[in-house]
Structure 1
């Protein structure tokens, strides 16, 4: 009886990184402004991943195992010098398919594919013969600074199929623009949420629908502690601002917009309710988090 009780006490410490809410694992919620994830998502089949690498939570992802892409990844921006990307091995999330006591993302094994993981997530073969699309990060490695934080972005649960011209063109330019803006004018911690919308188009493999192709890519940042002496054209983009772009070869320019404008678009193009809110209290209130929200999912 006593042994069973003690085991029950320690089970939460051993839990895998696919969780019921982002408060489940210590430090997982650190990637979220006020420890609060975007609210309003209504699909109960979505999986909450505390992206854990080298025994430490790095960021969080809301993942769709049926479409095999993330709905969004949320992370804290780390100031960097914008150095070139480094190649890291691609990884997968074992906990989407089975409980794993380790809790870390794992590199794909060389020469062998875990067939049992294919139902729950994308695998390397889904991208191997696709010419039009690249693996586009939602949490990009150039927004991270340490080797481990960068390596953790190279999991297929953090990427979506992006048209090559969009990925290496307008979207990469936007990621660099935000890197420079937050480096120069955000004094405290900056929180970023980046996600996608879909319309039903899929990458197919072996005559089966495998991976959803995003229609739009969106992002928003929240930096409550910013330089209030910055130029006016910069200052109007703080403490929070959003962006929206088409995942397309043409007509893929990136449009920056106020957070509320982005949220209004997402209410009509995502499986969310009218209470959608990307950042708690729209990133403008220093008030403490109400008790009723401290354990929301």
Structure 2
């Protein structure tokens, strides 16, 4: 049974906040009109997504990294989110049915037809199945609310290589839980279908991880990338190399390319230490 919930707050669904470092979502993103999705599968929350129904892509997905061998993916069915269209209220995230009628929910989210005739772009995961280990955790990533149009050469080249590099790094040197937030910037370019703007094409992809319990004896070039590090890259055919950087440097770049305020902070307290939340934030947990 696959369940996903559109919620007012990620803390409103039990254990949904476990996908977020210190149970706290990125701060400073202007959320007007955006939808918070607690992505649940087999009655268990798997990750969270901040979704833009107007652009029909996620702004970011946040998840915990699961140690994995990075083996080849299994074919899972693509799913959609009925609650974004308010079709039903039971929270079921459903596989696209055969011969389904798009009109019921295509206003609020991307559908398979949006990707079927665009040879330049592939469905690129924000929470990739290679960063998950169990079949259920992997299956839950195959919802169109977790993917964006990625240039094919970028998706199978630099970005996939980056995802693999992070998988190996966290596998080998993160001792505790690693929290990852991966998102996009947009500039107004859209995939069109039937002469209508349908799905926003990201200008950039960005990602950041936080792991406060890591191997202090790791080589220096690895140790300087803990407890947190980030990356950004152009979603393009050329000039698409992935640049790694400190999280605070990424935040500066995002302030110039996303709808955020000057208080943007991807990880609570900059992922410095698992210090207790101040009293005024206790009620949010």
Q: TM-score, normalised by structure 1?
A: 0.93
- Of residues 216, 220, 224, the one that matches 1:228 is 216
1:136 corresponds to which residue?
124
Distance (whole Å) between structure 2 residues aligned to residue 237 and residue 16 of structure 1: 33
Which runs of at least 4 in structure 1 moved beyond 6 Å after TM superposition? none
The answer to whether the Cα contact below 8 Å between 2:230 and 2:245 also exists between their aligned partners in 1 is: yes
Q: Distance in 1 between matches of 2:47 and 2:178?
A: 13
Matches within 5 A, 1:1-297: 17-98=5-86, 100-294=88-282
Tell me how far apart the structure 2 counterparts of residues 202 and 296 of structure 1 sit (CA, whole Å). Answer: 36
Paired residue secondary structure (1:153)? coil
For the 8 Å contact 1:16–1:100, the answer to whether it is kept is no
Distance 1:183 1:217, change over 3 A: same
What is the CA–CA distance in structure 2 between the aligned matches of 1:124 and 1:99, rounded to whole Å? 18
Quote the offset at 1:287 in angstroms: 1.5
SS in 1 for 2:10: coil
* Number of equivalent positions: 283
Task: Using the TM superposition, give the Cα deviation of residue 293 of structure 1 relative to its aligned residue in structure 2, in angstroms.
Answer: 2.7
Q: 1:32 to 1:102 in 2, by over 3 A?
A: same
Alignment RMSD: 1.4
2-side partners of 1:50 and 1:159: how far apart?
Answer: 15
**TM-score, normalised on structure 2?**
0.97
* Rounded Cα–Cα distance in structure 1 between residues aligned with 2:222 and 2:126: 23
Whether the aligned pair in 2 keeps the contact of 1:16 and 1:102 (CA below 8 Å) is: no
Secondary structure at 2:76's aligned position in 1? Answer: coil
Q: Is the 8 A contact 1:55 1:104 kept in 2?
A: no
- 1:226 deviates by 0.1
What SS class does the counterpart of residue 12 from structure 2 fall into? Answer: coil
Aligned mates of 1:223, 1:285 — CA distance in 2: 9
